[in-house]
Structure 1
């Protein structure tokens, strides 16, 4: 069986002048009979991966092995290159010169494509006289007539009218019986029905791929794309921002420690969190991440044995738990396990206004409207009336994250928000957090164990290992030497 295999491929694509787009550690195989679509946001690297597949990238390391013949690419970059070359030339090329420049062209198929795409009248024109849509038709006809084993089509429907798009779709379906297609698309409604492999691209990597996915799996991927393409517009708040002075710290811990009997979890921890200064908190199991967070929220009684300031309150000076918690949004695996009430998805989001598990108060019209906007942001408007307990684990997780954010708290604490999620839902959660960071309506503390789960906008890191007690390090080293 013929195929193309990229194994830990590293290289680069020249993008004009000295500019380069680097491909890192790409592993991908396309086999005869498969039809792929690459999906993702603008700048995700979809076009670069498509061009790399057919050999356009300069290889630096890794492997690229192909048993396919005559690979073809249709893309806007190719269109621009051809147009630029013709404009610089003293004698612009005729359409027929470009179309029939390849010796292996299938004349009968070429004429069929010309007729189907209503291109006959343009054959004797100069290439530079064609419109954008007509240029795209020319490149499509040429690539599809070349008896190729594989064709990469990068946004093939761009610039085509409705009738031409329909004709092209029908032709692609006919050709799909003997030609492999890889589509690069931004719109899910343009995916041909015969496509059987779906891939999500982010940061130049194939983050998630599905082979012949069921409808539910495709829906999960499309929800991810919904978030990817949704503008960074976080719904409004019901109240003004808590902190008006951006230089005032939200949280300040001085020489913080947690001890249980003779065991010290951490010590000598100094941490100041300023407004819109997002933090990632990392550490091994048992390093004290949750203990530290509970000092901030007031859920650990040792908060009164420490010097802690939260939202202007100094712990132990008569403040109530509500004085603190009303300004905090929180999600953790423990909360998810506790949230087993059978209320609707919409009411789950609304419960965030009242910090309750379940909804026991009447929501205002404004709260209802804002909750619906949050549901739209995460692509769950159609699930507004579905019971929380009947939704998928990934949808539940997104709802609880939105619940933590709905009232625009001064501080949002996300304790392992991706725990238990599959790859598609993990990407959705990371993207949503990225949008919240970019909106600058709340300050985020993000806890995770995986270095790969980084989020754009979180630029500060607190490592719990920096605050281990000395005896703990000695004990660990002694234990390891015994083993």
Structure 2
């Protein structure tokens, strides 16, 4: 590999973000981490190496012929491509989507360097044999992430760019991925985008720090003083948080305090011959906060979707929620009025072009987008959340022009805005920088300790524990 040289480079990403005056050299045998706050330009900086953005000035030279980029945006585009296959089907036949094996081998036909042996090795290492014929779009978030990472590496690129590669992975998968990347460092240079400094692999040689669309610092890991200064910059603490009040004018009917909020009995979910859940039972009492854990593919998101009514097999199981037995004529909106929810799947689905403020307000109506006139009180509450998130100056900006991390922050506020009876947080900190992660964890802690909201919290990171959560449910992946 030659030096990759970026000189005085400026590029636009949509109408709302510009990467400005970038000067950066990546030398052979260097492996970089790009870090910074949400919306600072981390992902944009990595993406210009893969040809993204509209160039306004400057130059990039020395890029290898094949560059592989794995990011949440690329993951969402692939999921969206699979979903759109339903739109082209004829005779009312619903497509099952592309099998995992075909997704993994997509680069094989036109890439003479495609490494079939490495592919088979990684399939075994990540224990993917049983899902090779399954539809890619039916996999969990963590599983689809693994597939994309493997696909990138077996294509033998001249440069691999991994945007938050560890987010969405369970502990064992993170360890395996770290070992895998370590085994590849002599054959392919890597650029990683990371929000968490504690996830930085040992083989990283340099760190780039972005802020407000500019590259502010490039640090050699061996320069201890410069590295420690940068580390300090990224580990500020958030204190004295107050959760904004809500709009109480349209609260749902009161629930019977003697009933559990949720009761799942002997739950079974399968796709064909592949079992996801088999005999799971779970009772959630009011103000009994839970952490839900388990490896990728163990059915965590599936179990949550049964509670929210977003899984088709909720009507074939024994599910009691908010005083209602599922399948007895209740509507999904009767269920959702008691729930606040955030997940990666919701973020992929939330693609409407509305303002930042209206995204938060949509949480009052459990809608994706705004279809109801908002009240002055709801606007005031939304503005209080924006101030808390440091986004008050972006209230009228289009949501779909924000970074992944800023979008995630807004969807967390949307989930919390109505102070729901049940708050479901499926990996809420995924994609957040250290500062905003601390903010979100502090908010969850506050809600657990001082509100009538019951919390279900999913996360893979031991350091992101919430002291107010005392109940734990562990799922195991079925063979």
Q: TM-score, normalised by structure 2?
A: 0.49
Q: TM-score, normalised by structure 1?
A: 0.49
Larger Rg: 1
Higher relative contact order (CA 8 A, sep 6+): 2
